[in-house]
């Protein structure tokens, strides 16, 4: 730009200036190409997600029930909804239950996932291929289908789980009802979630393990390191980034889980004493048509998940930037 202006002031030949200007126009066009390319997605996201999220914030400060839904107009009540929730023991109990539930699920998923991935490295090729195919098959099962299968297997009348446990001599599980207490219901949900999550975790960790140089492990072994020491000092540091990402993903997924507990426990048996956050929100906000309060719960939940996501998103953004 500065050169342009000096050139003009000095009264240099006009053709050159014209050429420059044309170049600039072209440059502006070139610079705007990426924006044009992302515009459709940005526009769509703004309309289908941005606007609803903006409405969500406003909804949370309104009394908004069925009547308001029909009129499309809520009554502003300030922060009353938040006050209601934060003074509701059900909210705090649900939050605590969800945190414990998430920790249990993630810990089980990650520990079992790591062990199975390590097992994969020890297997003969044909067994490994068989097990990986099995895992991929499980991975592909739709959640709703998995819930129905679980329901059938743990059915109290003729579920296979009761039969097998009784036959194995674990105890008398004849007509044992797995959905009698909140703890038992949530444990069944955990079993279902961990089973569904394992394939992704195992296969990803296994891929990470294959990056561990074989010579390094051999060297450690010949130096007399035990299996556990080899894992702690050689293998673990190399797969740590993978484990970190998988753990944060699992935390985010398990904290916001809805379909598995909702369908497995069953609408009829869902009560405040077995609420998880997603279900709490669905029951109190949607089913009771108390959209204002539901919106406030949603915002609290989204904020918690946003905090949990920071680690994961930051890591992924770094990768997206480099490549």
The separation between CA 71 and the C-alpha centre of its own chain, rounded to angstroms, equals: 35
Among 83, 96, 142, 180, binds another protein (CB under 8 A): 142
Which of these ranges, 3-11, 33-41, 181-189, 225-233, lies near another protein under the rule CB under 8 A? 33-41
Residue 259 near another protein by CB under 8 A: yes
Min dist. Cβ of residue 64 to another protein (A): 7
Which of these ranges, 4-12, 16-24, 81-89, 202-210, lies near another protein under the rule CB under 8 A? 202-210
Burial 134-167 (b: 16+ CB within 10 A, else e): ebeebeeeeeeebbeebbebbeeeebebbeebee
**Cβ(275)–Cβ(283) under 8 Å?**
yes
Nearer Cβ to another protein, position 8 or 44?
A: 44
Residues 76-115 that bind another protein (CB under 8 A): none
| 3 state DSSP class of 75 | strand
Among 23, 144, 180, 219, binds another protein (CB under 8 A): 144
C-alpha closest to that of 105 among 204, 301, 247, 310? 247
Among 9, 10, 33, 170, binds another protein (CB under 8 A): 33
Residue 25 near another protein by CB under 8 A: no
**Cβ(42)–Cβ(50) under 8 Å?**
no
Q: Residue 266: CB partners within 8 Å, gap ≥ 6?
A: 179
Min dist. Cβ of residue 242 to another protein (A): 5
Question: What number of chain residues touch another protein (CB under 8 A)?
Answer: 107
Nearer Cβ to another protein, position 105 or 285?
A: 285
CA distance 132 to 187: 26
Backbone angles phi, psi at 62, to 5 degrees: -125, 155
| 3 state DSSP class of 76 | strand
CA distance 89 to 165: 38
Min dist. Cβ of residue 22 to another protein (A): 15
Q: Look at the chain and count its residues.
A: 323
Q: Which two tokens stand for residue 76?
A: 């502003």
CA distance 313 to 291: 30
For every residue of 115-166, DSSP letters joined together read HHHHHHHHS-HHHHHHHHHHHHHHHTS-HHHHHHHHHHHT-TTT-HHHHHHH
Residue 214 near another protein by CB under 8 A: no
Which of these ranges, 2-10, 13-21, 147-155, 217-225, lies near another protein under the rule CB under 8 A? 147-155
Q: Which two tokens stand for residue 155?
A: 């059915």
Residues 270-309 that bind another protein (CB under 8 A): 277-279, 281-282, 285-286, 291, 294-295, 298, 301-302, 305-306, 309
Residue 227 near another protein by CB under 8 A: no
Min dist. Cβ of residue 109 to another protein (A): 13
Nearer Cβ to another protein, position 193 or 249?
A: 249
Residues 113-132 that bind another protein (CB under 8 A): 116, 119-120, 122-124, 127-128, 130-131
Residues 3-22 that bind another protein (CB under 8 A): none
């Amino acid at each position: 730009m500065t050169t342009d202006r000096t050139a003009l002031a000095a009264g240099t030949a006009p053709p050159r200036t014209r050429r420059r200007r044309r170049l600039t126009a072209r440059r502006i066009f070139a610079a705007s190409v990426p924006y044009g390319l992302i515009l459709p997605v940005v526009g769509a996201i703004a309309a289908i997600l941005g606007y609803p999220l903006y409405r969500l914030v406003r909804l949370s400060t309104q009394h908004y029930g069925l009547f308001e839904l029909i009129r499309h107009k809520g009554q502003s009540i300030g922060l009353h909804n938040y006050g209601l929730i934060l003074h509701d023991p059900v909210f705090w109990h649900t939050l605590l239950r969800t945190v414990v539930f998430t920790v249990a699920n993630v810990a089980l998923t990650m520990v079992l996932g790591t062990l199975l991935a390590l097992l994969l490295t020890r297997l003969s090729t044909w067994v490994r291929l068989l097990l990986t195919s099995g895992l991929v098959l499980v991975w592909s099962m739709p959640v709703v289908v998995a819930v129905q299968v679980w329901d059938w297997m743990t059915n109290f009348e003729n579920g296979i789980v009761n039969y097998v446990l009784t036959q194995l001599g674990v105890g008398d599980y004849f007509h044992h009802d797995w959905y009698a207490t909140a703890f038992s219901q949530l444990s069944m949900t955990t079993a279902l979630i961990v089973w569904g999550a394992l394939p992704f975790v195992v296969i990803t960790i296994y891929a990470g393990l294959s990056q561990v140089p074989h010579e390094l492990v051999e060297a450690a072994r010949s130096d007399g390191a035990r299996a556990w020491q080899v894992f702690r000092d050689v293998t673990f540091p190399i797969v740590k980034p993978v484990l970190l990402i998988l753990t944060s993903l699992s935390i985010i997924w398990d904290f916001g889980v809805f379909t598995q507990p909702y369908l497995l426990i069953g609408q009829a048996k869902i009560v405040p004493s077995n609420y998880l956050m997603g279900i709490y929100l669905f029951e109190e906000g949607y089913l009771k048509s108390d959209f204002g309060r539901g919106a406030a719960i949603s915002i609290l939940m989204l904020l918690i998940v946003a905090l949990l996501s920071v680690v994961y998103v930051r890591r992924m953004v770094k990768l997206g930037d480099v490549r």
